[in-house]
Structures are given as C-alpha cells and as structure tokens.
Amino acid sequence: MSKIGSNIRKIRSVKALNQTDFAQLFKLSRASIGAYEEGRAEPKIDVVIEIAKYFNIPLSDIFTKDLTVNQLTNFLLTEQLDFNKLITNSEKQLNLDFISSKTLSNKKDFIEQLASKKEFHKISFPNILQDADKFFELRDLFIPGLRHQKVEALICKSTKNPIKDSLILTISSDEIVYGKLISETAKIKLPDTGEERILSGSQHYFFQVQLIISVPKDSSSNFEDKLEAMENRIKALEGNN
C-alpha cells in the first residue's frame, strides 16, 4: 500500500503547513490534499516528483517508507556534520521534541502548545547529552542574542529554574531571547551585543542550552573533525554551567 497520503500529512505537520499552504506550493486545491491524506485519491506522479524535489526526499521513500523527522530535517544537519553516521555509531539515542522554525515563529501558538502539553514530533539524536528534551530549529529566525551568529539549531533541556550563568533560550508570547542568565530575576546578557535585558511581561518558558549546532560548511573536514568540534562545544557549555 502506498505511503504517499500519510507522508504528505507528516511533511505538513513537521513543516508546520496547513493543507491550504501545502496545496498552494504545488498549485493544488486544499480538497485534493485532504483526499490524498485520507486515502480517497492519490496524486499524479508529476505532483509526487515535485513534492519530493521540493522537500529533498528520495522519490522511492515517499512512496514506500514512513518518513521520519530526521529525514525531513536532514538538509539542516548533514551539510554540517555527518548526522546519519553519528546516529549509527551511537548505541543509545535521545528522542527530542522537534520544534521547527515555522512553529517557533508563531510564538503565541507555540506557548499554547506548551501549556496544553501537546505532543511534538520526535527527532533522534545521539545520547551524548544529559536530560535534553527539545530540538529547536532556528534557521531564518531573528532572535536577540543570536543576531551575529550562524546558529542552525539548539538542543535544550526544559527547566522552570534555570541555573545562573548558564546559556538559555527563553520564550514568551511576546519574545524569544537567547543569552546568559546573570541573575535569578531573569536578567539576561545577550552574547551578540553585550546588552543586559530584564525579562518582563508574559510568562516565560526557559530552556537550558546543551548543544549549539552551528558547524560551518567545510567539505574538507572529515567526520572525526566534525564530531570533535561538536564535543568541544558541549564541553564549553558544561563549563558555563
């Protein structure tokens, strides 16, 4: 049985696209997308090819396999470190809540999802961290504290009591801020400008940063070099805790 319908639904969900938005990408109707997902119809092969190309998915996979979050976000990670090989070489894996940049860009909806304890899609990551539970994709987002850094993603631990002098990502319905917590009263120093900011207003959710994914593209670097660079980042973060 073809996996196309369920995979279209999975792609939409991971990419935070409603049926109308997805349909517009491929000049289709919302009703057609609904029919594909419910198994009442299947798209023409040229439409499937367009979908596979657009989301960088092997054509055979979209027909025959249940797509995973790792596959759908692979474009983000494999250019920076050999993510698939790293997962293969790890005996244990973490299943982290995957928060796409589009989901995060709608702060109010995201806060409502957190408050209602909504289940997020999971992304697998080597178990080289302690207690991490969130994977934030940050590509194309403007975040105070990260304006001069090419950070693709953050792996974090949810916490109600962030540790002083640790790096945190804090999110409210009004703002998203990254920085070093310098007081228990939620005063944060932004690494990119040195500005000290006091958080105020809406309730803030705190996520303690455990890994920063910002490895520059370098085709000459081998896997061991990239893994060492990532381990050095983890040690640097541990030194801040």
Write out pLDDT tens, residues 141-159: 888 888 766 778 888 999 9
Domain shared by 147 and 38, yes or no: no
Domain shared by 134 and 195, yes or no: yes
CATH number at residue 24: 1.10.260.40
Question: How many domains would you assign to the chain?
Answer: 2
pLDDT tens for each residue of 13-52: 888 788 999 999 999 999 999 999 998 998 998 899 899 8
pLDDT value at residue 158: 92
Q: Which of 67, 84, 106 is the last residue of a domain?
A: 67
- Residue 35 belongs to what domain range? 4-67
Q: Binning pLDDT at 50, 70 and 90, where does residue 89 land?
A: very low
Euclidean distance between CA atoms 229 and 233, whole angstroms = 6
Q: Which of 47, 67, 87 is the last residue of a domain?
A: 67
Domain shared by 49 and 93, yes or no: no
Domain shared by 18 and 110, yes or no: no
Domain shared by 221 and 179, yes or no: yes
Q: Which of 15, 50, 67 is the last residue of a domain?
A: 67
Contacts with 30 (C-beta within 8 Å, 6 or more apart), sequence order = 19, 20, 23
Domain shared by 63 and 82, yes or no: no
Q: Binning pLDDT at 50, 70 and 90, where does residue 228 land?
A: low
Domain shared by 54 and 115, yes or no: no
The encoded tokens of residue 241 equal 């805790």
pLDDT value at residue 26: 92
pLDDT: is 70 or 222 the higher one?
70
Domain shared by 30 and 79, yes or no: no
Euclidean distance between CA atoms 235 and 231, whole angstroms = 6
Q: Which residues of 160-179 are buried (b: 16+ CB within 10 A; e: fewer)?
A: eebeeebbbbbbbbebbbbb
What amino acid is encoded at 223 in this protein? F
Euclidean distance between CA atoms 151 and 118, whole angstroms = 26
Domain shared by 61 and 89, yes or no: no
pLDDT value at residue 224: 52
pLDDT value at residue 79: 36
Mean pLDDT of the chain: 78
Domain shared by 125 and 192, yes or no: yes
Cβ pair 212, 166 in contact under 8 A:
no
Domain shared by 78 and 61, yes or no: no
Euclidean distance between CA atoms 211 and 129, whole angstroms = 8
Domain shared by 124 and 170, yes or no: yes
pLDDT value at residue 143: 86
